[in-house]
């Protein structure tokens, strides 16, 4: 198969069972207009996040890595009206774009965008007693993925679900590369999850409009 075929299949899936709407389309367009990198999840992947949150019965979600808020909108739409989603974004300009997109989608009452390094924000959440969260979506700088999962465990409960995006690295995950911190961090993530008795996990490879990648899915069991 070729990338055009992957793209065509993703388009078919999206058009038939995960169609865009005005808020989602505007979120992507607003992000592009603001100069954000075009690395948001694909629409069918966003729908997957939405369904996982609904299957989980999530009432509280923590997202690490907001970008323009596209995945945030998909996740927040899975919450009940009294649910809450906190999303952490390092870049203040990205955070402002996300706030605009989230407000346009009518979700600003249940979504809070916090700006700053996640490894600074996460201890603050713990100090505030913000957890436990029912679902975590981690899609930020890959070198810190192990630390983010450690923090997710601290802010979780038995039954919480942790999703980590971009773990295949175009297939390069199989080969250590000391010159690539994203590979190093992702391999450390897998080693941490494999050794952590409180996590039951798997990982999947994906192909599509976002190329060759994949995600890790874990459930907190203790």
SS (H, E, C) 2-70: CHHHHHHHHHHHHHHHCCCCHHHHHHHHHHHHCCCCCCCCCHHHHHHHHHHHHHHCCCEEEEECCCCCH
Each residue of 70-91: pLDDT tens digit? 999 999 999 999 999 999 999 9
Q: How confident is the model at residue 2 (pLDDT cuts 50, 70, 90)?
A: low
Task: Provide mean pLDDT across the span 39-43.
Answer: 94
Q: Which residues pair with 10 in a beta bridge?
A: none
Each residue of 8-34: pLDDT tens digit? 999 999 999 999 899 999 999 999 999
- Buried residues in 189-216 as b, exposed as e (16+ CB within 10 A): bbebbeebeebebebeebbbbbeebbbb
Structure tokens at 94: 């990205």
Q: Which of 59, 9, 22 is nearest to 160 (CA)?
A: 59
């Amino acid at each position: 198969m070729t990338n055009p075929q992957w793209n065509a299949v993703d388009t078919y899936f999206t058009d038939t069972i995960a169609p865009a709407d005005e808020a989602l389309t505007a979120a992507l367009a607003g992000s592009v207009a603001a100069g954000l990198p075009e690395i948001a999840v694909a629409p069918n992947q966003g729908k997957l996040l939405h369904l996982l949150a609904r299957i989980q019965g999530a009432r509280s979600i923590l997202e690490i890595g907001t970008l323009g808020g596209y995945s945030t909108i998909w996740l927040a739409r899975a919450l009940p009206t009294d649910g809450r989603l906190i999303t952490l974004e390092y870049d203040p300009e990205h955070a402002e774009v996300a706030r605009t997109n989230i407000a346009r989608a009518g979700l600003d009452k249940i979504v809070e965008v916090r700006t700053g390094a996640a490894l600074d924000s996460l201890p603050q959440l713990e100090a505030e007693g913000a957890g436990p969260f029912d679902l975590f979506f981690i899609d930020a700088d890959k070198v810190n993925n192990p630390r983010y999962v450690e923090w997710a465990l601290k802010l979780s409960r038995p039954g919480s679900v942790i999703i980590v995006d971009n773990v295949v690295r175009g297939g390069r995950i199989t080969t250590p590369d000391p010159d690539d911190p994203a590979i190093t961090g992702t391999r450390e993530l897998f080693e941490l999850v494999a050794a952590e008795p409180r996590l039951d996990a798997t990982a999947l490879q994906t192909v599509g409009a976002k190329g060759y990648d994949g995600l890790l899915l874990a459930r907190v069991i203790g």
